[in-house]
Chains A and B, each alone.
Chain A
Amino acid sequence: MKLSGWAKYPIINTRLHKPKGIAEILNLIKFKGVIARGNGRSYGDSAIGSDHTIEMSNFNKIISFNEDTGQITVESGMLLSDIIETFLPKGWFPCVTPGSKFVTVGGMIASDVHGKNHHKVGSFGKFVDWIDIINANGEIVRCSQKENSELFNFTIGGMGLTGIIIKAAIRLKKINTSWIKQKIIAAENIDKVIEIFESTSNVEYSVAWIDCLQKEKNIGRSLIMLGEHADINDLPIKFQKKPFDYPKKYKIKIPFNFPYWFLNYKAVSLFNKFYFLRNKNKTNEQLVDFDSYFYPLDKIIGWNKIYGKKGFAQFQCVIPISNSKIALNELLLTISKSNCSSFLSVLKKFGRQNSFFSFPFEGYTLALDFPISKNTLNLMTQLDEITLKYKGRFYLTKDSRMSKETFLKSDIRNDDYIKYRKLTGSFDIFNSSQSNRLGL
């Protein structure tokens, strides 16, 4: 059948399976070109098997919960939304969360996802205690920092290419309420944005929304959104009795693919102006529920349809801190000149991270999305070049179109990973459409 990632591009032919048990998976990995898939929220083709795709949706049980340490053991197809629904009322929250809660534990491990607190705590993998994985030989292997650590470290951020993750133990953190204290700071250009990030590095959560269509001295005009978990005392009296309650917001459902011209330059430019003006004066601290703060897009079910039938592509790179200012200026200038509009543009500072194959390292990461067209694909190739020039690398969970050459140049660690894959036999079994494209 035809399958795509969340961005609906590219669409790839694969055989989709939804196994009910381990035995079925063991049968499936006798084939080649197999990859696991969670909830299909990676943007491109990383969760589409070149031949067989194993959707893990039936592996969604909670196995155990330790009330003292906050460690939970869950099957890999468990959704983050289910984890939050179950454990938030008990006062526990994921240490790291990506921008959607409709992702699975297996997916978060394979992508080694990051959140708005990366500069403080690092990525998701740091809070994984152990993983059970089916390797290329069809063995179920328990791996952790102590036990089979090479497998463990390549599995975290390894894009599912080491095997099929079955279950994992992850740590949650204790929180006192389900609310976030938010503060918004407006910055008129990219240099200011970086200044603000540097001066607010003690704040738990931070992210900047960029208006990519600004020109000249306003290039990189942004709203920086800072957040901290609220304490009980921060809540109005009426909420203090039930600190973990949160308003169940209405959801919007996008019923069909919008026409491709919907997100045109004018519309995005108008939206950006409106959004900036609406929020730039919210400099006072506000209370927002965690759902609105972390997952604003989850409220719009099927938001990927607003880009139309052809879909869109995400671009996310990270630039080393020493080159950040000049590289970001150049990236944003190139976008601004291109007259292509990125609807959702996000900038964030990463803290230090050393890992076998994960995306983050210390620096600034820029995430953009463009509706698929010849122009935008060309533009993204230009952005690739700039990223390479400044020694940056790319987030494979978002990628759907990078060339093999670009990828190999961007990440010197791929040699080691490919070597490891060949040595363990995973190279012959576990292949996604993306790993084939990138020669990984």
Chain B
Amino acid sequence: MKIHSILILGAKSDIGMAIAHRFAKAGYSIQLAARNIIELESDSKDIALRYNVKVTVHEFDVLKTSTHKKFLDNLPEIPSVTVSSVGYMGEQKINENNLEELTKVIRTNFEGPANIFSEIANKFEIRGYGTLIGISSVAGERGRAKNYIYGSSKSAFTTFLSGLRNRLSKKNIHVLTVLPGFVDTKMTKNLDLPPRLTVKPFELAKIVFNAYKKKKNIVYIGKIWFLIMMLIRSIPESIFKLMKL
């Protein structure tokens, strides 16, 4: 039986690491990719010991798009599945006034992931199968004053994934868009999140794995967000612009 593998882009993130654990539990070999691989050593050992799987670590910088091709060529194999859990939120107030930060948010959440996904998608297309899992955000569903720079970058990523799916669905390539609401991670640790609407990374990983198995196209993390976002999207712009959400 072929041993499947998964490449985790942004493996240092809590979400990426949780997904690595979930797939390792199912017997996948794991390729962890992040900027600073020294920080991944203890995690890779831990995963290998826990689940008896092969784990490799790879230097990867989502912003250095010119290195992406070479990064892929250096992998031990083209993975069966690739997930991008790369993300950067910044702070809205700073993003509004600082071009550098604004660019960093947009490039980290959209340009970088879109570039590496394009490269991998082409390799998958040649090979004839593969799955791409993009961790986007419900923040991309409508622009709000509170976080529209982060939100719009995720929105672009969601649209990108949708187009990619449309292009590749006939070619045995599966694209899964993951839309988390609130997740309890390093990125959100300074935000005051409502506990009932907040999930833990391992819970998210479980939902993502099941959605992958069932070949779902879009999955909200928790289901309630589907409803919440539907309501938010349905508010007419003339009213929405006056609201504080």
Contacts and interface: CB of A to CB of B under 8 A. Distances in A.
Contact of B43 (A61, A85, A86): A61
A62 B49 contact: yes
B49 A86 contact: yes
Contacts of B238: none
A62 B186 contact: no
A63 B50 contact: no
Contacts of A85: 50
A20 B186 contact: yes
Given A86-B49, A86-B50, A63 B42 contact: yes
Contacts of B43: 61
Nearest to A60: B46
B45 interface: yes
Interface string A50-66: 00000000000111110
A410 to B, nearest CB: 40
A61 B46 contact: yes
Contacts of A64: 45, 49
Q: Give the contact-size bracket for chain B.
A: under 10
Interface in A20-67: 20, 61-65
Contacts of A62: 45-46, 49-50
B202 to A, nearest CB: 11
Contacts of B49: 62, 64-65, 86
Interface in A78-124: 82, 85-86
Interface in B37-89: 42-43, 45-46, 49-51
Nearest to B184: A18
A62 B49 CA distance: 7
A64 B49 CA distance: 8
A361 to B, nearest CB: 36
A259 to B, nearest CB: 23
B18 to A, nearest CB: 12
A118 B185 CA distance: 40
A91 to B, nearest CB: 13
B223 to A, nearest CB: 18
Contacts of A82: 50
A48 B77 CA distance: 48
Nearest to A65: B49
B29 to A, nearest CB: 17
Nearest to A18: B189
Contacts of A65: 49
B42 to A, nearest CB: 6
Nearest to A20: B186
A63 B45 contact: yes
Q: Which 6 A-B pairs have the closest CB atoms?
A: A61-B46, A62-B49, A86-B50, A62-B46, A65-B49, A61-B42
Interface of B: 42-43, 45-46, 49-51, 186
Given A62-B49, A86-B50, 13 more contacts: A20-B186, A61-B42, A61-B45, A61-B46, A62-B46, A62-B50, A63-B42, A63-B45, A64-B45, A65-B49, A82-B50, A85-B50, A86-B49
5 contacts: A61-B43, A61-B45, A61-B46, A63-B42, A86-B51
